[in-house]
Structure 1
Amino acid sequence: MAGPFEAISGGGAAIGLDEVEMSILRSLVVQLLELVGPGQAPVEGEDPLAELFAEGPSEPPADPALARLFPDAYGEKEPDFSSEFRRFTENDLRARKREDALAVVRALDEAGAPADDAAVGRGESVVVLKLSAEDSRHWLGALNDLRLTIGTRLEVTDEDEDGQLYRLPDDDPRKPMVMAYLWLGALQESLVETLMP
């Protein structure tokens, strides 16, 4: 398993991940990018001012995971306010979530595999990723979005006090996602602690 994030100079963070962890994380982030999608992008070549003020959707997403990533600002009591707020903010929020996820994919792709096959044979297949302060913030956003998405799919609630979900038998089809959810939570917590002054 990945070690915790550690602070590096310049306000960034470093973490060691093995090839399997990098592959799992990349796969999850790519799935997140597919889920978030491009949104309603303005037509290329349009007036730049029109692009800046392009309106987004006014209805909440039907997919529960997307609804969790793009929640109503005012709740069900004020649907008109929520609709207006969503119309003017969702495109930017969607773009930020894509930017966060792409920063993770780029860092993983740039890190690549261990330097040589001999290192892998000696069990030294860990790659150390060094993230700038900005990249660390992108990672924090992407880890949060991944946990929200997986938590929604697993129907994790605050009321799951008895921890039934965490004691699933190994043959339960949800077990891999629960393990990913817990791992991402540990990564997120470690990164938050590293970035705190």
Structure 2
Amino acid sequence: MWNRKNSLGGVKLRSEIDAHEAAVLRSLVTSVLGLLDERAKSAPDDELAELTGLRSGNTAPPEDPVVARLLPDFQRSDQGGLDDADATADANGALRGLHEPEIIDAKVAAGSVVLDTVPPDGGKLVLTPEQADAWLSAINDVRLAMGTNLGIDSQTPDEVDPDDPRAPHFDVYHWLTWMQDSLVQALAP
């Protein structure tokens, strides 16, 4: 559980994590960062970007469902505004090409904060509010990735049969949900 402490150095958020929890969290964050890194490296070379210094990303949506969940389209064709599915795809491609590198950078930076602040062997955690925000983003990305892999949606029960092969993963998913909620509560004034 996270606690909020006010000190002369400012607000600090404190918790403790055991060695197993630290290993699981580090592994999950590292996996998500690996997926994002692969996506970033798959961006086509762009001569104009090389000349201007403005990076461009992929214009096609990710084929991997987990990466697609982490980097969703900017606009769905059923949101209105653009009636034609092709026009929506073109707009999403253009927006993706412009913004995906920055989005990936932000997600990688958040994950890196978690990796930099989680003691590898477990122990005390002390975060600034800015680091806590990064943690919230990174944990959210891990939960999105796990939720996609586990097929979690609004109809999924909170508990599954203990014999279900996904049961241990649901436990980790719920632990991350609890950790995220506890951190949000501690951040609230």
TM-score (norm 2): 0.83
Give the CA deviation at 1:32. 1.1
Give the CA deviation at 1:29. 1.0
Partner residue, 1:8: 5
What is the DSSP-based 3-state SS (H/G/I as helix, E as strand, rest coil) of the residue aligned with 2:155? coil
What is the DSSP-based 3-state SS (H/G/I as helix, E as strand, rest coil) of the residue aligned with 2:125? strand
**1:141 and 1:14 mapped to 2: Cα distance?**
18
Are residues 15 and 72 of structure 1, via their aligned partners in 2, closer, same or farther at CA, if it must alter by over 3 Å? same
What is the DSSP-based 3-state SS (H/G/I as helix, E as strand, rest coil) of the residue aligned with 2:183? helix
Contact 2:11 2:128 (8 Å CA) reproduced: yes
**1:127 and 1:54 mapped to 2: Cα distance?**
39
Larger deviation, residues 31-40 vs 62-71:
31-40
Aligned length, in residue pairs: 172
**2:160 and 2:61 mapped to 1: Cα distance?**
33
Letter in 2 for 1:103: V
**2:133 and 2:51 mapped to 1: Cα distance?**
28
1:67-146 superposed matches below 5 A: 67-76=68-77, 77=85, 78-108=88-118, 111-113=119-121, 127-146=123-142
What is the DSSP-based 3-state SS (H/G/I as helix, E as strand, rest coil) of the residue aligned with 1:136? helix
Contact 1:11 1:195 (8 Å CA) reproduced: no
**1:153 and 1:94 mapped to 2: Cα distance?**
20
Contact 1:42 1:54 (8 Å CA) reproduced: no
**Percent pairwise identity:** 33
Letter in 2 for 1:94: I
Give the CA deviation at 1:104. 0.7
Letter in 2 for 1:142: A
Contact 1:12 1:134 (8 Å CA) reproduced: no
**1:42 and 1:50 mapped to 2: Cα distance?**
16
Q: Does 1:188 align with 2:184?
A: no
Partner residue, 1:50: 52
Q: Does 1:166 align with 2:167?
A: no
Letter in 2 for 1:96: A
Give the CA deviation at 1:177. 1.3
**1:72 and 1:159 mapped to 2: Cα distance?**
23
TM-score (norm 1): 0.80
What is the DSSP-based 3-state SS (H/G/I as helix, E as strand, rest coil) of the residue aligned with 2:73? coil
Partner residue, 1:66: 67
Partner residue, 2:17: 17
**1:144 and 1:49 mapped to 2: Cα distance?**
36
The root-mean-square deviation of aligned C-alpha atoms, in Å, is 2.2
**2:151 and 2:137 mapped to 1: Cα distance?**
21
What is the DSSP-based 3-state SS (H/G/I as helix, E as strand, rest coil) of the residue aligned with 1:167? coil
Contact 2:59 2:93 (8 Å CA) reproduced: yes
**2:51 and 2:44 mapped to 1: Cα distance?**
11
Hey, which bits of structure 1, 4+ residues long, moved more than 2 A? Answer: 8-12, 40-43, 47-51
Partner residue, 2:28: 28
**1:57 and 1:48 mapped to 2: Cα distance?**
15
